[in-house]
Amino acid sequence: MRTRRFADEGFGVALGSIGVLIVVATGSAACGGSAHTEQREPTAPASVNARASAPRQDDGMRVEGLSGTISERAVHEGIQTRMTDFMKCVSKGYRRIDMLGGSIELAFRVRLDGSVAWAFPKSSDVGDRETERCVVDVARRVVFVRPQGGEAEFTHPLSFDPLDDVRPPVQWSAVRLEEVIAERSDEVASACGHGEFVVTSYVDRGGRVLGAGAATTDDAAASKLDCVVRSVHEWTMPDPGSYPAKVTFALSL
């Protein structure tokens, strides 16, 4: 039986974090093929058990927005209402890339009624755009308590590990891709437009892109993430040899 860990890591904006550890049991599926290409069918989480202490009483701390505020505890509780849905995104990701794992920092803007005006990945080294998109879609459905004084903005990180019985990818430095980036950046800019992005990719034997994801600190550039990832999927990377590699690199367009 596989055990997965999913961490609700806390809050940006220089506040103390509230951590939570999620344990999800998924059934093993017997499949042929190599470890990194086999098609797995992890089951949806049968149970989700939070192993963190109960949220502390509101101590007056606030996540500050441009004009509004929302309590740290309220953000934590809002995220918790969708934790099972976040885990379903990850479970589906394992079927595509069984060595999937990493962290994603979500940027939020919350309306006066507590609904999410927008959410996007401000940073991510997950390396799978479909998983990132699923997580963002779930985040947009969170309903928080009403912020005080106006709409509030904040960031919130989530992280998860690869499956326990899957060998992790070889970690590459971005230096390995300097030539490829120099050759292909103009092509991506022509297709997708300008912006600053951080891309994470899994590279299979022969230099084939096995999976890719992206993030941006600019909410105006968030709509370009799909295009950037599609373009990177067409690249031929250096050959990692006998086992896939994972690499995170900046892409300035």
- 1-10, 139-148, 220-229: least confident range: 1-10
Using the predicted structure, report yes or no on whether residue 138 has a pLDDT greater than 60.
yes
88-102 CB burial, b ≥16 within 10 A, e <16: bbbbbbbeebbbbbb
Q: Using alpha carbons, list the distances in angstroms from residue 55 to 69, 95, 151, 152, 153.
A: 19, 33, 24, 21, 21
In this predicted structure, what is the pLDDT of residue 36? 43
In this predicted structure, what is the pLDDT of residue 128? 98
Residue range 159-172: mean pLDDT, rounded? 93
Q: How confident is the model at residue 43 (pLDDT cuts 50, 70, 90)?
A: very low
Residue 133's nearest CA partner among 98, 162, 90, 168 is 90
Using the predicted structure, report yes or no on whether residue 170 has a pLDDT greater than 70.
yes
In this predicted structure, what is the pLDDT of residue 45? 38
In this predicted structure, what is the pLDDT of residue 66? 55
Q: Which residues pair with 156 in a beta bridge?
A: 106
Residue 134's nearest CA partner among 109, 100, 167 is 100
Output the pTM of the full model. Answer: 0.76
- 20-24, 68-72, 136-140: least confident range: 20-24
Q: Which residues pair with 48 in a beta bridge?
A: 24
Q: List the domain boundaries for the chain.
A: 2-160, 170-252
Return d(Cα 131, Cα 100) in angstroms, integer.
9
Q: How confident is the model at residue 172 (pLDDT cuts 50, 70, 90)?
A: very high
- Mind listing the pLDDT tens digit for each residue in 86-128? 999 999 999 999 999 999 999 999 999 999 999 999 999 999 9
> Is 225 in contact with 121 (CB distance < 8 Å)?
yes
- Mind listing the pLDDT tens digit for each residue in 186-199? 999 999 999 999 99
Residue 152's nearest CA partner among 121, 122, 114, 104 is 114
Residue 197's nearest CA partner among 249, 146, 149, 120 is 249
